């Protein structure tokens, strides 16, 4: 690492202006609420499986603490220095992704090779891809956006990079995350001013491929069928959706009360991770759901308006990508829980149990807070 | 410091961002509206109904499939009715747990501590039925029913238990069932298993649990606020799916013949069809009777069996290994014939011992066999012959390679849980496990199947099957058919599947078979293999254990030797453990088994027709 680079990452060079306090407050509320809902949703399963009701809670707190350290660091790095090392960040991300295919390091859980085990902790490298790819796209698209008429030079590299990572995630048998990463990437391409004719040709090319990939595994086909008509197979693939919808409608307006969800005692599968929102809806009712939706909406509003306000393209695209990365994921997860889109394995940020997701989400928010420093007083140019 | 990249601004991006945001906001609002209809509108109507009555569902347990032998006439495993007593700790009034436990312990004739093990203090608040005892007799249930008000939170259910019709026979093949453990639940939580599931714990019951278990059904009924049934449920009952019936490749008569031929000697027997890989019998002694696990004294029975030093739960045919000793010389013979480094007709002079380095290795005939060629060497099981060809003409690498090519040192993939791989040692293996280099003495020992090498009985049967099949090994299997439990229709038929092929010349296998035949006609097994029902080819093995007078007895064989329809051929392997008194029983047992199979007689008739015989 060069000296200039090292100096760039030094804490003394940190921008001292305050971060967006709205954003910060939203984050704290979401994380706190998420933790209590997670405990309620997971204690039964934890007790049954591990004999320790707070098993998932304890692990989540450890990850949350780690993520906080990451987030604080992310608010204090120099973004210019960070920008310089973005191409270098791709390498460790790629290595971690490839490690999941290495026997003994990569572990297979329920047929998917998504996790790697390092120092006794499992980590899902595809979560890291989200962060790395958002950084990379913000960087490359802001550099190349003047040359979009030269496809070979400006369009091909980011498209290839995205396709490569999405293919890797797909190869881990993680269709949902692959699809989600692709969605984020496409929205970033879109806002960067990518000519629409490229979108058209890319869509035409990728639709048949995506269809084949979607239909190539039995469980995916069953999930799609269950989405179209869950009552057809109430004990099998449609079960998750019916159970989570039942939980939500049991919740009604006020909810059954904190900790008193009945459905989590077995009938909602993965109540502690991908379907935690169903427990929230059952215990806190529509009121609680609206509060959480409202928090995510405030988060999105602050993030997106920051993206529009920031004048430097890199920062603007980055703010957009980070906000979208959290917000779209939340919306997608909640849409799955109510059965508006087919069941996928996407966690709800800050709520679902899962170490890699919480750490990466917090680092993403940290970067966003960093971008928000004095944004209202921002008057063009990059502070040197 | 100057910025690394010039700042750039673009109105296109801002416009597009705004467009995208409007789109997302609309989706978001749509979602809020959808949730409103789901939670408030639907929920409102739903709660209107649930104020008077609620719908409850109860489980209709699935019936586990039966297991048959290959004749598919009468089942080996059936279900019989029995009762189980449960407690829902949540329904026991606070502070009364001890009193209820005591009364219940008295009724069921178990200790309070046992109930406490099922219902520890930490689970008093849990709303979940916990089974206290299964296999409860009908009389106890009537007593419980008379005084049910004295047992709050206690109830019973009819719960079928598994009946293993032939007692301890085939115990290692069939296995047994039991309640799910927390460890198993962690793995199976998302596959339809619950905390009260009963599942296979070993053998076929474990291997094919998913086929046997079926799926529980559900009965729906409307109940009022006090839990009384007020009507049928608004949904139709979901009938349980019956578990499938399984037909095994095991031949009940050959299994019983093999069990009786081995008798009460610690050891194992494998009989299989080399042409298909079907296992006709698999015996391991000592056995256990799985019926004990569904009686009230199951805990006691289980701990007694677990504490038995002879390890009755171990399936010695696939889960224990021992040096194959002289039966390994079949591998050596095939290796030598294929490598052609020493002519099969060339001779070695056995003087009763040979020196390697500073160690002297003996033959089992102290005055020596004299001059022997390959066929005579195998027939007489001459150690000196195989020491010589092993060290001087083959070398350890060739021996290791041929052992592996013939399936030793790896799992065969039989459809039973817990198969072990055995050991084919190599210089790397010895360095890793003993930290010392391979020496000439190791090659000498390996040449006669002693030293580090260890094989299971099934692997030796597979090795013989490959010799019989000109190098093709069909995966050994226990499951023959899956049948519909109601119609008996065959849902799935297990087809023979090639597991391994040894690319060696046909001549090698033909000559190896000839050499194995000479073991019977002119060699060590001549006096024991007396059956005239069929021509047998085989090899004896006597394994040293390092303890004087404690020897493993092996016999690996197949019959008919040649000319027969390959479908009629069987491979028989008998292994009698060194912990038994030495009787040289393995070839004797094999003689009885082979004679019984080819004369179609049971054990008693076989023994009668073989008499007079010096060892019977």
Give the B-side interface with A, CB within 8 Å: 1-5, 7-10, 12-14, 16-18, 20-21, 24, 27-28, 31-32, 34-36, 38-40, 42-44, 46-47, 126-127, 182, 185-186, 189-190, 194-195, 215, 238
The distance from CA A95 to its chain's CA centroid, rounded to whole angstroms, is 20
B259 min Cα distance to partner chain A (Å): 41
Please indicate whether, in this complex, the C-beta atoms of A314 and B5 are within 8 angstroms of each other: yes
Dihedrals phi, psi of A295, to nearest 5 degrees? -60, -45
Secondary structure class of B52 (helix, strand, coil): coil
Dihedrals phi, psi of B54, to nearest 5 degrees? -125, 155
Q: Which of B2, B24, B34, B35 to mutate to test the interface with A (most CBs of A within 10 A)?
A: B35
Option in B2, B40, B182 nearest A252 (CB):
B40
Please indicate whether, in this complex, the C-beta atoms of A145 and B2 are within 8 angstroms of each other: no
Please indicate whether, in this complex, the C-beta atoms of B28 and A314 are within 8 angstroms of each other: no
Option in A297, A308, A338 nearest B38 (CB):
A338
Please indicate whether, in this complex, the C-beta atoms of B8 and A313 are within 8 angstroms of each other: yes
- Cα diameter, chain B: 107
Nearest to B119 by CA among B90, B89, B94: B89
Q: Which of B2, B15, B17 to mutate to test the interface with A (most CBs of A within 10 A)?
A: B17
CB < 8 Å to B127, chain A:
265
Please indicate whether, in this complex, the C-beta atoms of A80 and B3 are within 8 angstroms of each other: yes
- Arithmetic mean of pLDDT over chain A: 79
Option in A285, A340, A381 nearest B34 (CB):
A340
CB < 8 Å to A47, chain B:
126
Q: How many CB atoms lie within 10 A of CB B200?
A: 22
B587 min Cα distance to partner chain A (Å): 45
Residue of B nearest to A319 (CA): B17
d(C-alpha B318, C-alpha B616), whole Å = 29
Dihedrals phi, psi of A310, to nearest 5 degrees? -60, 135
The mean per-residue pLDDT over the stretch A206-224 comes to 73
- CB-based contact A6:A13 (threshold 8 Å): no
The low-confidence residues of chain B, meaning pLDDT below 50, are 1-6, 49-53, 225-227
Structure tokens at B359: 């160690």
Nearest to A30 by CA among A367, A288, A316, A319: A288
SS3 content of chain A, % helix, strand, coil (to 5): 70, 5, 25
d(C-alpha B463, C-alpha B457), whole Å = 10
Nearest to B551 by CA among B523, B525, B589, B577: B577
Nearest to B168 by CA among B73, B249, B271, B285: B285
pTM of the predicted model as reported, rounded to 2 decimal places: 0.63
Q: How many CB pairs below 8 Å do chains A and B form together?
A: 127
Tell me, letter by letter, the H, E, C secondary structure of A165-181.
Answer: HHHHHHHCCCHHHHHHH
Q: Which of A32-36, A174-178, B125-129, B242-246 has the lowest mean pLDDT?
A: B125-129
Structure tokens at B32: 């809020």
d(C-alpha B168, C-alpha B290), whole Å = 7
CB < 8 Å to B28, chain A:
293, 297, 331
Structure tokens at A351: 């709520």
Q: What is the pLDDT of residues B173-194, one digit of tens each?
A: 999 998 888 778 777 766 777 7
Secondary structure class of B23 (helix, strand, coil): helix
Residue of A nearest to B182 (CA): A49
Q: Which of A138, A249, A314 to mutate to test the interface with B (most CBs of B within 10 A)?
A: A249
The distance from CA B392 to its chain's CA centroid, rounded to whole angstroms, is 40
DSSP, residue by residue, B176-203: -EEEPPHHHHHHHGGGT--TT-EEE-SH
Place of tokens 């329904």: B91
ipTM exceeds 0.85, yes or no: no
CB < 8 Å to B10, chain A:
145, 193, 313
Residue of B nearest to A333 (CA): B31
Please indicate whether, in this complex, the C-beta atoms of B39 and A313 are within 8 angstroms of each other: no
A39 min Cα distance to partner chain B (Å): 17
A220 min Cα distance to partner chain B (Å): 16
Identify the structural domains of chain B with CATH numbers, from first to last: 52-81+160-248 (3.90.1310.10), 82-159 (3.90.1310.10), 252-287+314-610 (3.40.710.10)
What CA dihedral angle connects B209, B210, B211 and B212, to 10 degrees?
40
Q: Cα dist. A192→A139, B8, B208, B398, B569 in Å?
A: 11, 12, 56, 66, 75
DSSP, residue by residue, B293-322: GGSTTHHHHHHHHHH-TT-TT--TTTS--B
- CB-based contact B540:B327 (threshold 8 Å): yes
Exposure b/e, B75-113, CB count within 10 A at least 16 = b: bbbebeebbbbbbbbeebeeeebeebbebbbebbebeee
Residue of A nearest to B4 (CA): A80
Please indicate whether, in this complex, the C-beta atoms of B47 and A307 are within 8 angstroms of each other: no
d(C-alpha B215, C-alpha A157), whole Å = 52
pLDDT of residue B556: 97
Q: Cα dist. B113→A79, B105, B171 in Å?
A: 65, 9, 31
Residue of A nearest to B31 (CA): A335
Option in B13, B28, B43 nearest A252 (CB):
B43
CB < 8 Å to B4, chain A:
80, 83-84
Element (DSSP H or E) covering residue B354: strand B353-356
B414 min Cα distance to partner chain A (Å): 23
pLDDT of residue B495: 94
The distance from CA B242 to its chain's CA centroid, rounded to whole angstroms, is 24
Please provide the distance, in angstroms rounded to a whole number, between the alpha carbons at the two ends of chain B. 101
Non-local CB neighbours of B11 within 8 Å, separated by 6+ positions: none
Option in B17, B27, B215 nearest A308 (CB):
B17
d(C-alpha B302, C-alpha B27), whole Å = 61
Q: What is the pLDDT of residues B572-614, one digit of tens each?
A: 999 999 988 888 999 999 999 999 999 999 999 999 999 888 8
Structure tokens at B72: 């598919």
Non-local CB neighbours of B594 within 8 Å, separated by 6+ positions: B529, B531, B533, B534, B536, B557, B559, B570, B572
CB < 8 Å to A254, chain B:
none
- Percentage of chain A modeled with pLDDT above 70: 78
d(C-alpha B55, C-alpha B128), whole Å = 18
SS3 content of chain B, % helix, strand, coil (to 5): 40, 20, 40
pLDDT of residue A343: 66
B582 min Cα distance to partner chain A (Å): 46
Please indicate whether, in this complex, the C-beta atoms of A384 and B13 are within 8 angstroms of each other: no
B4 min Cα distance to partner chain A (Å): 7
Please indicate whether, in this complex, the C-beta atoms of B195 and A307 are within 8 angstroms of each other: no
Non-local CB neighbours of A335 within 8 Å, separated by 6+ positions: A341, B31
Strand partners, B541: B554
Residue of B nearest to A379 (CA): B7
Q: How many CB atoms lie within 10 A of CB B145?
A: 11
pLDDT of residue A8: 46
pLDDT of residue B38: 79
Please provide the distance, in angstroms rounded to a whole number, between the alpha carbons at the two ends of chain A. 20
- CB-based contact B256:B602 (threshold 8 Å): yes
The mean per-residue pLDDT over the stretch A30-58 comes to 83
pLDDT of residue B121: 82
Please indicate whether, in this complex, the C-beta atoms of A297 and B28 are within 8 angstroms of each other: yes
Tell me, letter by letter, the H, E, C secondary structure of B545-594.
Answer: CCCCCCEEEEEEEEECCCCCCHHHCEEEEEEECCCCCCCCHHHHHHHHHH
User: Pairing between strand B267-272 and B537-544?
Assistant: unpaired
A280 min Cα distance to partner chain B (Å): 12
Nearest to B338 by CA among B177, B471, B212, B482: B471
Residue of A nearest to B239 (CA): A235
Q: What is the pLDDT of residues A82-120, one digit of tens each?
A: 888 888 888 888 888 888 777 666 666 555 556 666 655
Tell me, letter by letter, the H, E, C secondary structure of B338-351.
Answer: HHCCCCCCCCEEEC
């Amino acid at each position: 690492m060069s000296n200039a680079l090292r100096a760039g990452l030094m804490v003394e060079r940190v921008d001292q202006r305050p971060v967006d306090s709205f954003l910060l407050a939203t984050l704290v509320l979401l994380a706190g609420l998420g933790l209590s809902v997670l405990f309620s949703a997971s204690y039964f399963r934890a007790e049954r499986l591990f004999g320790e009701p707070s098993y998932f809670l304890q692990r989540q707190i450890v990850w949350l603490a780690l993520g906080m350290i990451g987030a604080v660091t992310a608010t204090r790095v120099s973004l210019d220095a960070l920008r310089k090392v973005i191409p270098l960040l791709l390498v460790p991300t790629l290595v971690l992704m490839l490690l999941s295919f290495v026997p003994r390091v990569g572990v297979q859980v329920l047929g998917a090779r998504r996790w790697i085990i390092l120092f006794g902790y499992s980590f899902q490298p595809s979560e890291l891809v989200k962060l790395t790819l958002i950084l990379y796209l913000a960087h490359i698209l802001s550099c190349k956006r003047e040359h979009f008429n030269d496809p070979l030079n400006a369009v091909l590299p980011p498209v290839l990079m995205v396709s490569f990572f999405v293919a890797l995630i797909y190869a881990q048998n993680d269709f949902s995350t692959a699809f989600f990463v692709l969605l984020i990437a496409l929205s970033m391409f879109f806002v960067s001013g990518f000519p629409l004719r490229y979108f058209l040709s890319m869509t035409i090319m990728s639709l048949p491929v995506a269809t084949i990939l979607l239909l190539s595994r039995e469980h995916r086909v069953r999930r799609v069928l269950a989405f179209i008509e869950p009552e057809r197979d109430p004990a099998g693939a449609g079960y998750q959706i019916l159970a989570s919808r039942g939980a939500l409608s049991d919740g009604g307006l006020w909810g059954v009360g904190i900790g008193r969800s009945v459905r989590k005692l077995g009938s909602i599968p993965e109540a502690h991770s991908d379907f935690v929102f169903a427990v929230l809806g059952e215990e806190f009712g529509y009121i609680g759901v609206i509060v959480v939706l409202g928090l995510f909406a405030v988060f999105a509003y602050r993030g997106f308006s920051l993206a529009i306000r920031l004048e430097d393209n890199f920062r603007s695209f980055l703010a957009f990508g980070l906000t979208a990365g959290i917000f779209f994921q939340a919306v997608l997860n909640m849409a799955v829980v109510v059965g508006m889109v087919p069941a996928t394995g996407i966690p709800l940020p800050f709520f679902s149990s899962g170490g890699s997701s919480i750490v990466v989400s917090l680092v993403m928010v940290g970067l966003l807070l960093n971008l928000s420093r004095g944004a209202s007083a921002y008057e063009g140019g990059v502070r040197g | 410091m100057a910025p690394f990249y010039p700042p750039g601004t673009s109105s296109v991006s801002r416009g597009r961002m705004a467009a995208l945001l409007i789109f997302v906001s609309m989706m978001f609002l749509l979602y809020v509206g959808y949730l409103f209809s789901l939670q408030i509108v639907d929920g409102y109507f739903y709660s209107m109904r649930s104020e008077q009555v609620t719908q409850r569902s109860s489980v209709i347990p699935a019936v586990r499939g039966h297991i048959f032998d290959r004749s598919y006439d009468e089942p080996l495993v059936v279900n019989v009715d029995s009762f189980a007593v449960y407690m829902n700790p949540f329904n026991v009034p606070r502070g009364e747990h001890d009193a209820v436990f005591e009364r219940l312990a008295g009724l069921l004739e178990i200790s309070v501590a046992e109930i406490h093990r099922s219902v520890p203090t930490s689970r008093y608040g849990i709303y979940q039925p916990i089974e206290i005892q299964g296999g409860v007799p009908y009389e106890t249930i009537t007593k419980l029913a008379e005084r049910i008000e004295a047992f709050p939170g206690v109830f019973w259910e009819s719960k079928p238990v598994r009946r293993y019709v032939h007692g301890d026979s085939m115990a290692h093949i069939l296995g047994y069932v039991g309640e799910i453990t927390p460890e198993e639940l962690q793995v199976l939580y998302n596959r339809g298993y619950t905390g009260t599931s009963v599942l296979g714990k070993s053998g076929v019951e474990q291997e094919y649990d998913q086929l046997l278990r079926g799926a529980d059904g559900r009965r729906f009924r409307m109940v009022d606020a006090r839990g009384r049934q007020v009507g049928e449920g608004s949904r139709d009952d979901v009938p349980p799916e019956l578990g499938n019936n399984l037909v095994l490749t095991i031949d009940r008569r050959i299994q019983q013949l093999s069990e009786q031929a081995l008798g009460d000697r610690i050891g194992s027997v494998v009989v299989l069809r080399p042409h298909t890989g079907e296992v006709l019998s698999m015996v391991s002694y000592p056995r256990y009777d799985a019926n004990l696990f569904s009686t009230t004294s199951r805990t006691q029975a289980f701990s007694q069996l677990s504490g038995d030093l002879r390890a009755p739960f171990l399936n010695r045919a696939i889960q224990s290994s021992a040096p194959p000793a002289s039966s390994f010389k079949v591998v050596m013979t095939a290796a030598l014939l294929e490598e052609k480094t020493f002519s099969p007709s060339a001779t070695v002079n056995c003087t009763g011992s040979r020196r390697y380095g500073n160690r002297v290795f003996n033959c089992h005939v102290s005055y020596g066999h004299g001059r022997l060629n390959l066929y005579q060497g195998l027939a007489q099981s001459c150690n000196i012959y195989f020491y010589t060809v092993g060290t001087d003409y083959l070398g350890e690498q060739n021996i290791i390679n041929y052992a592996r090519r013939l399936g030793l040192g790896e799992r065969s993939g039989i459809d039973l849980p817990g198969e072990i791989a055995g050991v084919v040692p190599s210089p790397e293996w010895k360095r890793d496990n003993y930290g010392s280099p391979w020496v000439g003495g190791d090659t000498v020992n390996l040449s006669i199947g002693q030293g580090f090498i260890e094989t299971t009985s099934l692997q030796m049967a597979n090795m013989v099957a490959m010799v019989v099949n000109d190098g093709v090994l069909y995966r050994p299997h226990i499951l023959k058919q899956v049948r519909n439990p109601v119609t008996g229709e065959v849902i799935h038929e297990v087809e023979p599947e090639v597991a391994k092929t040894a690319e060696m010349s046909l001549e090698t296998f033909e000559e190896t078979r000839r050499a194995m035949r000479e073991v019977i006609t002119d060699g060590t097994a001549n006096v024991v293999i007396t059956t005239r029902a069929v021509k047998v080819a085989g090899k004896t093995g006597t394994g040293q254990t390092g303890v004087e007078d404690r020897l493993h007895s092996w016999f690996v064989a197949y019959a008919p030797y040649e000319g027969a329809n390959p479908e009629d051929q069987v491979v028989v392997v008998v292994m009698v453990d060194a912990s038994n008194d030495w009787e040289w029983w393995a070839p004797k047992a094999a003689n009885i088994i082979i004679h019984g199979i080819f004369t179609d007689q049971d054990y008693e008739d076989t023994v009668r027709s073989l008499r007079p015989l010096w060892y019977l």
